[in-house]
A and B are shown apart, each in its own frame.
Chain A
């Protein structure tokens, strides 16, 4: 059994406030290198000085091995589609073959890494980027220059990684394993971790999973972060959840294992050896390798602690009568007594609706959108609960987790408005048992 870590992935600088206010409870922060390049001064000062927490920089190398249109957007006055500035700058910093992929407008493939000298150079560049980027940024800023030498190293360094495509998994997995091995062999003084990024469908490919279990430890990396694109713990079936559990259980005997975009189910795998999870501030417990483009700001729903799931306000409120919740006190006893909920639902039960407040964001908006204040309440409430879930899991054994799931099913079973929202509890119970 491992005490699990909760590492928050910062998705934008607008989230700085949430991270700063909850930092003392968190185990670390992870920032994508493209975000770093887009906001380097602010991110460097946050990670290098203000937070004083373990940090990680995701080098995002996989983006250069996917359809490159996914990292383009309309640029300048002409609106012509070109590479986003952040990926261009990152590519330049990571040097070959990343720069040439952008120059040629041709994505990287395993063939680009056939030359062993180039592989080593590439691994070095990716590692040194993570080791030195914040220091460089401090060096460039007269206000922060004097602190550059004091910047701590990242908690771990990621080897370059790519999305292991389900239609040609062998070639891509071999490349990822090679990059992990070469990186680990370079003997930097910081632990080297691998990222295994593939599609969730690969959880049904036993040969593929066996190869990871067998070959990954041979690379010499000290940790691995699994990212199964689109793997949704809430809707996945028992078979895939069990396969993930088995992967974690087997690999954790050899190294630290993390879930790069995981939620409560992943976190509970600490009973099978998982060291931690990372996710965003109120989202990101699943992630696709295909980035969301041009979508409206998603609604941050209320994280229902019993279900470890975010849900709409009315579906929960509809249960109050059935659960005999008549007062704020009842609410705090039966739904949530975190500091946010105690502050929001303080005088009247109806104040719960403040978690779902909606308004027209502009005078010409046709659709209602969640108010920034409601989103803020939901995000802070989520963070407080995630921290509590982590702390509870440190104390609970597996039997305790399963018993808790059972009592949740019993408590909510008669509540018609959430009937379809709690099916994952039974699935998780089966997958963990």
Chain B
């Protein structure tokens, strides 16, 4: 284990990450979006570029986040793992890079910073994306 995080639970990571993506034009957002047996911690849609993002939040277990992120590439154009900055050191950045998954670090003051950019998913399925964009834009998501 690395240094102790200021974040006691995953949900505390949500606010800074949601704010970060709002700044990046992903103004339609939904938390805990079900994807089969999983729940995408944050799913977002940008009208500006017609792109979607899925974010998996984790305090420590980046491998588990990676397993989920790989699956979310089926339903989002870009997928990120977001972790407290103190946990980032343990992450296998090369593995994430190989699979096009982005990484965000959340500082103790709640500021979110991109460590690794995400690549456009090559396996995103239009049917999933359409369903989720509809959910977000037809009243079940938040528009900011």
Residues of A at the B interface (CB closer than 8 Å) are: 299, 312-315, 317-318, 320-321, 350, 353, 356, 358, 368, 416-417, 420
Contact = CB atoms under 8 A, between A and B. Distances in A.
Interface in B104-126: 122-123, 125
A314 B123 contact: no
Nearest to B70: A417
Contact of B74 (A317, A358, A368, A420): A317
B125 A315 contact: no
Contacts of B73: 318
B36 A358 contact: yes
Contacts of B71: 314-315, 318, 417
A353 B126 CA distance: 12
Contacts of A317: 74, 125
Nearest to A322: B123
Contact of B38 (A314, A321, A350, A416): A314
Contact of A314 (B36, B99, B122): B36
A314 B127 contact: no
B36 A356 contact: yes
Contact of A312 (B36, B122, B127): B36
A358 B34 contact: yes
B3 interface: no
Contacts of B37: 299, 312
Contacts of B36: 312-314, 356, 358
Contact of B123 (A299, A312, A320, A368): A320
Interface in B91-144: 99, 122-123, 125, 127-128
A317 B34 CA distance: 17
A322 to B, nearest CB: 9
A353 B123 contact: no
Interface in B63-81: 67, 70-71, 73-74
Interface string B18-49: 00000000000000001111100000000000
Contacts of B34: 358, 368
